[in-house]
Copies of this chain bind each other. A is one copy, B any other.
Amino acid sequence: MSETTPQTTGDRVDGRTPDQLREVRITRGWLDHAEGSALIEFGRTRVLCAASFTEGVPRWKKGSGSGWVTAEYAMLPRATDSRSPRESVKGKIGGRTHEISRLIGRSLRAVIDLDALGENTIQLDCDVLQADGGTRTAAITGAYVALADAISWGRRHTSLSATATVLTDSVSAISVGIVDGRPLLDLEYREDVAADTDMNVVVTGTGGLVEVQGTAEGVPFSRAELTTLLDLAESGCASLAQIQRDVLAEQR
């Protein structure tokens, strides 16, 4: 497990400074069955990320010599402050769930060489056990760790090459936003609902941008504000990349 050392000298609702992450904890191998897994916590937000490695690919990729990585995101009904009905009971998946699942899949595919993966599929499941803002960014950050372990598993247990570079970079994500006119890093739920602008940024370990999704919740934002938010997000993702490196460096 790897975690940040939180300082609580700022004036945000939980005592953080504007550019400070919440305490981040990553517990590798939380599940016994999955080829890769991580329980990731951004403060009170807890997401269980499982990576399932299977040989073979979906029908539309058969014979391509190339692999596939996909993701599903979901939330337990009582992850939130008041209970939400299950999507399985409603019989359909909501727009938000679809949107985040697609975002996670795209983010991971940005750092994997599908040709090097060969005709293998890795399915990521990111289940939010408890939500307090930033669930999609925690999911991406934790899913990368589970993905890395599933690839190691594949190298040991399948015909996947032990030496080819399958992961071309690491990837992490963080939310930023403007609350009461102030740019803040890693919004918790109370900050998120109060934000005028909310942005999720996905960044690789070497600093490349993978996704920038900024939304004005109330008044539109300016180019200058956008610049400040991107600076904050890049700095936050650099910290997350270091935490990922640390936790993956541990012997298992």
Contacts and interface: CB of A to CB of B under 8 A. Distances in A.
Interface of A: 31-34, 37, 44, 48, 50, 52, 54, 72, 74, 76-83, 86-99, 101-102, 106, 110, 123, 125, 127, 129-130, 132, 169, 199, 203-204, 208-216, 219-223, 226, 230, 234
Contact of A77 (B72, B95, B204): B72
A130 B31 contact: yes
A74 B86 contact: yes
A76 B124 CA distance: 12
A223 B230 contact: yes
Given A37-B78, A92-B91, A110 B208 contact: no
Contact of A52 (B83, B132, B215): B83
* Interface residue SS majority, chain A: mixed
A31 B72 contact: no
A78 B110 contact: no
Contact of A213 (B78, B101, B208, B213): B213
A126 to B, nearest CB: 10
A33 B74 CA distance: 17
A80 B97 CA distance: 23
Given A32-B44, A129-B48, A220 B110 contact: yes
Q: Which 5 A-B pairs have the closest CB atoms?
A: A208-B220, A95-B98, A50-B78, A87-B88, A88-B88
